[in-house]
Amino acid sequence: MAKLILLRHGQSLWNAANKFTGWVDVPLSEQGRAEATIASCKLKNNKYHVDICFTSMLFRAMETAVICLTECDEICGGKTPIIKHDATDEDWHGWDKYEGNPEEELPLYTCAALDERYYGALQGLNKTQTAEKYGKEKVHEWRRSFSVPPPGGESLEDTMKRALPFFQNRIITHLKHGDNVLVAAHGNSLRAIIMSLDNLSPEEVTQLELATGVPIIYDFDESGEATNKIILK
């Protein structure tokens, strides 16, 4: 039975400042790094192992993945995590032209499909002040509805259209082969994936909130179906 470990990044400096973040590349706060460390210890204490990791292109997700895989490195089974950047990017300089050794190395792929929703004109604004300006209900609709986008940004539905095909094509393939997969990503890209895994309706997904740094673990059978879910609180 393969394990899928979904991990929202630890608290970022803009989560702490209560600012809309989206694609702005803000690093983790001290608390966020501690949350990633605690996630690593929980995985170790519950005897989870990781074979392959996917993160978004945003540093807070990569930082969370690297802390999680290296603080209690037993979860990598003695392997070294190696970050595999997107070699299809035309600006990519090909530093890592290296075939690799799967016996010794654990690949960590960075993928734009897993990035946070694009928050458009709201990026950088304080969430409380924005609710005071536009009204709590409107801002809640922008933040949590399925199909209403924030001004100039992506709705959850838009985020799902890029995150879910990647999940189905790349990540489920590994789970079907029996690999344990860590996905370190964002509140909204993970909400889109969980909406599909848990068969949530557009109404139900408005209630779905993910805590920073808390592993959510699904068992997957060989046909690529999720059979069980636990949250390592």
Could you confirm whether 93 is annotated as catalytic? Answer: no
Could you confirm whether 116 is annotated as catalytic? Answer: yes
- Nearest to ligand 2PG of 172, 205 (CB atom): 205
- Nearest to ligand 2PG of 21, 56 (CB atom): 21
- Nearest to ligand 2PG of 71, 141 (CB atom): 141
CB of 21 to ligand 2PG, least distance (A): 4
Listed residue (222, 2, 21) closest to 120, CA to CA = 21
The footprint of ligand 2PG (CB under 6 A) covers 15, 20-22, 116, 119, 143, 187-188
Specify the pairing of strand 226-231 against strand 216-220. Answer: antiparallel
CA angle 118, 123, 129 (to 5 degrees): 135
Handedness of CA 179, 184, 185, 189 (dihedral sign): positive
48 contacts: CB under 8 Å, gap ≥ 6:
3, 5, 75, 180, 215, 217
Cα separation of 46 and 36, whole Å?
15
How far CA 62 is from CA of 36, 146, 149, in Å, comes to 11, 26, 26
CB of 19 to ligand 2PG, least distance (A): 7
User: Given 35, 63, 116, 154, which residue is catalytic?
Assistant: 116
- Nearest to ligand 2PG of 32, 187 (CB atom): 187
Residue nearest to ligand 2PG (CB): 21
73 in Cβ contact with 104 (< 8 Å): no
Which tokens hold the place of 223?
A: 């046909």
Active site residues: 9, 116
